[in-house]
Amino acid sequence: MLDTPSDATTHFETAAALRLACREGRFAAPTSGQAKGYQQGNVVILPRDLAGEFLRFCVVNPKPAPILGVSEPGDPSLPMLGDGIDIRTDVPRYRVFRDGQPAEQLTNISDLWRDDFVSFVLGCSFSFETALLQARIPVRHIAAGRNVPMYVTDIQTHAAGPFGGPMVVSMRGFSTSDAIRAMVLSAQMPQAHGAPVHFGDPAAIGIRDIHTPEFGDAPILEPGDVPVFWACGVTPQSAIRKARPAIAIMHEPGHMLVTDLPTDA
C-alpha cells in the first residue's frame, strides 16, 4: 500500500512546499527536521459521532492532547492551520485503525474519505525540542540519533465518553540546571505539551523500569541526570485505540502534518 517512494534527502523550506510534495506523491518520509520554523502536528480523523467526545477529551487533557486545529465535518481543509490544506493528501503517511487495530498504511486517504469525518491536529514535541537545541540544552536521544523513550504511567487521563485511560509520557534526561531551563522553556509552549508532568523518581508515576520504555528507544541518562517526563501525543492515540471505533485514521508515527503556524506562536 506504500504507493510512493519516500525521499528523505529532499529538504523543504516551507510547510506549503512540503504539503504539496505529499499531495503530488513526491514525499512520504518522516517530517523531523523539515520546514524548520513551522509547527508540526499529530493527525486524528474520526467519524462525527465520536468527534464531540474526542474534542472534549482533548480539552480536558490539554497536556497530552493540545489542540492546534479541528475541521468542520466532511471538510478536508483546516484553514486555521494553513492555506489550502487537504488532510486527505497532505500528510506523508497515514495509518488506518479498524476496531482499534492497525489496518492499512496509506499515503493518500481520498478513497476512504467520508462526509462525516472530522480532522483533529494536535501539537507535538518537535517545536519544543527545537527550542531546547536553540537554547543549547543537549537533548540526549537526538544527539544519539534515537527515538525519545515513552512510557505508560499510572496517571489517569480525565475520561470523556469512550476516551480515557492512562497518560503516556516521554522522558528526556538533563543535568539539574538544564532540567530547570527545559521545564521553564516547555511551560512557554502549551501547544507542544507544555510544562512536564513529573521529574525524578519514575516509580512515583508507575514506571517500573526506566530502561525499558513501552515505545521508542532505550533512554540515555548520563551520570547525575534528572529524568524529566512530559505528557506525550501517544496518549490520545492510545485512548482512541482503546475506544475501538469502527474506523479512525491517524498519521504514521513521525510522519506529521506540517502546518503554517510558526513554532514561536
Where do contacts with its own copies occur on this chain (CB under 8 A)? 176-177, 179-181, 183-184, 187, 195-201, 204, 224, 226
- Do 24 and 33 meet the contact criterion of CB atoms below 8 Å apart? no
CB-wise, 166 or 196, nearer to its own copies? 196
- Do 189 and 131 meet the contact criterion of CB atoms below 8 Å apart? yes
3-class DSSP state of 103: strand
Work out how close the CB of 29 gets to its own copies at its nearest, in angstroms, rounded to a whole number. 35
Work out how close the CB of 220 gets to its own copies at its nearest, in angstroms, rounded to a whole number. 20
DSSP 8-state class, residue 88: T
Q: Which three cell numbers stand for residue 197?
A: 508532568
Write the single-letter amino acid at 102. P
Work out how close the CB of 178 gets to its own copies at its nearest, in angstroms, rounded to a whole number. 12
Work out how close the CB of 199 gets to its own copies at its nearest, in angstroms, rounded to a whole number. 6
CB-wise, 67 or 195, nearer to its own copies? 195
Strands 257-262 and 101-106: unpaired
Work out how close the CB of 192 gets to its own copies at its nearest, in angstroms, rounded to a whole number. 14
Q: Which residues of 37-50 are buried (b: 16+ CB within 10 A; e: fewer)?
A: ebbbbbbbbbbeeb
Write the single-letter amino acid at 40. Q
CB-wise, 202 or 219, nearer to its own copies? 202
CB-wise, 99 or 201, nearer to its own copies? 201
For the chain, helix (H) and strand (E) counts, in that order, are 6, 11
CB-wise, 56 or 181, nearer to its own copies? 181
